Amino acid sequence: IRLMVVEEVLKEFEIQTNNNLQRLGLMDWKVEYSVDQETKAGTVRKGFTVMIQSPVNNELVPFECWSGGEGQRLRLAGTLGLMDLIANRTPNKWTIEMWDEPTQHLSPDGIDDLVQVLRERAYRENKQVLLADHRDFITRGEFTGVINVVKDEKGSKICIG
């Protein structure tokens, strides 16, 4: 029974992650999660494995092969997928999400996709989404409020805009 539950949860996690990949602009990408993986020698390796299929490769590639903006989008999709999985299986819903520098390594298009996803989550799930970042989001227009912490030779001050 335990393996059946693990398989069911892992499949739901995979679906949630793949849904978020699409939202984050990685169209035609696919994530596969598994707890057992067959090696080239035909043996079974135990452990959690994440494999990725992209539009440029027909073979599944280990998650560790992706870096930069694509790697960050994959990590974000996995994080969002895990949050969705937990939310679906928890009776108590949280009303706040805090994201710490999620735009690292993302291109301007990647940032736009992420901000749109977070905005839609906030409205759809009726929650506050807080984003801490070193980028200037004032020009993005997607936020209901911005708090800037400005540090100069006199110290730090909070500017609410």
Find the angle CA(97)-CA(116)-CA(103) to the nearest 5 degrees: 70
Query: How many Å apart are CA 127 and CA 160, to the nearest integer?
Result: 20
Three-state secondary structure call for residue 81: helix
What tens digit of pLDDT does each residue of 23-48 get?
A: 999 999 999 998 876 777 878 777 78
What tens digit of pLDDT does each residue of 43-52 get?
A: 877 778 899 9
What tens digit of pLDDT does each residue of 112-125 get?
A: 899 899 999 999 99
The fraction of the chain above a pLDDT of 90, given in percent, is 54
